[in-house]
């Protein structure tokens, strides 16, 4: 059960790392991202596809570039992650048992 969550978090981390590379180095291609991150080309390509489906990046003839939606997403990201962390913290069974005691 937790294994799936861990895999999803790892994938989200990769997607965000690829997005950050696009923001910092646009336009940027798959080969450069793969070389700099150490992720295989197919994983970078998948992350780019996910980011494109979310309208956070778009392809150009020179490589991936950010969209109008990218800055808004980045501005909201930390708050959303904080909410998730808080929710996960509240799910800890040990802490819940200590509070009830």
The full DSSP string for 3-47 is HHHHHHHHHHHHHHHHHHHHHHHSSB-HHHHHHHH---HHHHHHH
Q: What is the model's pLDDT at position 32?
A: 95
Say how many Å lie between the first and final Cα of the chain, rounded.
27
On the question of pLDDT at 24 being above 80, the answer is: yes
63 beta partners: 60
- 57-97 tens-digit pLDDT: 999 999 999 999 999 999 999 999 999 999 999 988 875 55
Q: What is the model's pLDDT at position 85?
A: 93
Q: What is the model's pLDDT at position 99?
A: 57
Q: Where are the domains of the chain?
A: 1-90
pTM above 0.75, yes or no: yes
The CATH classification number of 1-90 equals 1.10.10.10
DSSP 59: E
- Other C-beta atoms closer than 10 Å to the C-beta of 26 total 15
Q: What is the model's pLDDT at position 92?
A: 87
């Amino acid at each position: 059960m937790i294994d799936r969550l861990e895999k999803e978090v790892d994938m989200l981390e990769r997607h965000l790392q690829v997005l950050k590379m696009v923001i910092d180095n646009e336009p940027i291609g798959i080969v450069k991202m793969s070389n700099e991150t150490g992720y295989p080309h197919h994983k970078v390509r998948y992350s780019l596809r996910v980011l494109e489906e979310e309208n956070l990046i778009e392809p150009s003839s020179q490589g991936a570039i950010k969209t109008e939606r990218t800055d808004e997403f980045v501005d909201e990201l930390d708050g959303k992650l904080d909410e998730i962390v808080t929710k996960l913290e509240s799910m800890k069974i040990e802490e819940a048992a200590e509070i009830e005691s």
